[in-house]
Amino acid sequence: MKFFRPLALTLTVMLGMSSISHASLEELTYTKDVAPIINNNCVSCHRPDQVGPMSLMNYKEIRPWAKSIKRHVSEKTMPPWHATKYKHPFSNDRSLSEKEINTIVSWIESGMKKGDPKNLPEMPTFVDDDWKLGEPDMIVTLPEVTIPAGGPDVFEDLPAKLNLEED
């Protein structure tokens, strides 16, 4: 009996720390709970022809990667955010909240239910043109420079005409 008491206490404390109750664990679904998180934080990179090594645009694409997703969100390596945590938040911090991490992990651990397709959030829209961050205000064309494979660093002055109306 003495052996089981610390174990029961440990489990109670661990379960109590989770922000998702046991009752809601059974109700977690991809369509209602996980898709909004993935759409807001992952698919900008994890979609065809982007930097992410696999597409995570839908349930069918996410399911085979569940163990990897669980590990990476738990370790906070995905989505990548390399800035040091600071007392003032960054406006573009891509980190997942603890609640979002717990939701994804709990959904995976509870069997990855798909859910009702009517609950799917709208897929974000992406502009797939040459300018991922929007068209620039000015394009400056510089002369081509050939840098030798060996030798000292090369520091070239690259002249360019800028027809600016003001400083």
Low-confidence ranges of the chain (pLDDT < 70): 1-26, 128-129, 132-133
Q: Quick one: pLDDT at residue 26? A: 62
Q: Quick one: pLDDT at residue 3? A: 46
Q: Quick one: pLDDT at residue 25? A: 55
| Encoded amino acid at 26, one letter | E
Q: Quick one: pLDDT at residue 78? A: 95
- Specify the DSSP class assigned to residue 64: G
Q: Quick one: pLDDT at residue 167? A: 79
Burial class from Cβ neighbours inside 10 Å (0-12, 13-18, 19+) for residue 58 reads middle
99-126: string of b/e by CB count within 10 Å (b at 16+)? ebbbbbbbbbebebbbbeeeebeeeeee
Burial class from Cβ neighbours inside 10 Å (0-12, 13-18, 19+) for residue 62 reads buried
CB within 8 Å of 56: residues ≥ 6 apart: 38, 42, 43, 46, 47, 62, 65, 69
Report yes or no on whether pTM surpasses 0.75.
Answer: no
Does the CA dihedral 132-138-143-145 come out positive or negative? negative
- Specify the DSSP class assigned to residue 33: I
